[in-house]
């Protein structure tokens, strides 16, 4: 088996573990954390073996964001977007991560790009539009627009406190070693 194939297999195992951690409500917090960290290790293995598809970087970023390693997550979202700049969901996920560290301008730009890309007719858009319908939205675009409105309200509501909160938040941001 080639290294690339081994990496692809590691990615698939990481995806499975990540889904189980996210969806299996019967898991204890400790078991969920174990599966999440195992998924992260499998994504690392995939990258080390040369499986460098955008999806592995986005999946790794998603887990890092869930674990509140938002700076690290941003770095991996950047790689995913560089490898596949036509995927609206990558911009959307990066927008949410930027919002969590009070990068409102960056978040707004990513929301706008996600909205623009979500209007294109491609496989990714069709998938997310179908998912959006299952979760009560007319389309992925509608969901992105709603979240962008929340961002705008949040940033307006904070006004001058943004800078103070930003400094406080920066002190709490975790980084993986």
pLDDT 10s digits, 114-147: 999 999 999 999 999 999 999 999 999 999 999 9
How many CB atoms within 10 Å of residue 167?
10
Identify the sign of the CA torsion 49, 55, 61, 64: negative
User: Per-10-residue mean pLDDT for the chain, 177 residues long?
Assistant: 92 96 90 94 96 96 93 97 97 96 91 96 94 94 91 70 61 65
Q: Tokens for 67, please give them.
A: 């674990």
Q: Is the residue at 39 inside a domain?
A: no
Of the candidates 72, 108, 74, 106, the residue with the CA atom closest to the CA atom of residue 90: 74
Q: Is the residue at 163 inside a domain?
A: yes
Domain that holds residue 102: 85-177
Q: Is the residue at 98 inside a domain?
A: yes
CA distances from 160 to 96, 141, 155 (A): 21, 30, 9
Could you give the number of structural domains in the chain?
Answer: 1
Q: Is the residue at 134 inside a domain?
A: yes
């Amino acid at each position: 088996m080639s290294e690339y194939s081994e990496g692809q297999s590691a990615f698939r195992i990481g995806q499975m573990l990540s889904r189980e951690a996210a969806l299996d409500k019967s898991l204890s917090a400790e078991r969920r954390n174990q599966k999440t960290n195992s998924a992260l290790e499998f994504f690392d293995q995939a990258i080390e073996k040369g499986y460098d598809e955008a999806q592995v970087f986005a999946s790794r970023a998603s887990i890092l964001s869930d674990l509140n390693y938002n700076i690290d997550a941003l770095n991996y979202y950047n790689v995913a977007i560089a490898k596949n700049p036509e995927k609206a969901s990558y911009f959307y996920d990066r927008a949410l991560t930027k919002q969590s560290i009070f990068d409102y301008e960056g978040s707004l730009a990513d929301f706008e790009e996600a909205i623009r890309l979500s209007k294109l007719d491609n496989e990714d858009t069709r998938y997310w539009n179908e998912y959006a319908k299952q979760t009560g939205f007319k389309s992925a675009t509608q969901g992105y627009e709603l979240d962008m409105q929340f961002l705008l309200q949040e940033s307006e509501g904070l006004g001058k406190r943004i800078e103070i909160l930003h400094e406080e938040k920066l002190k709490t941001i975790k980084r993986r070693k």
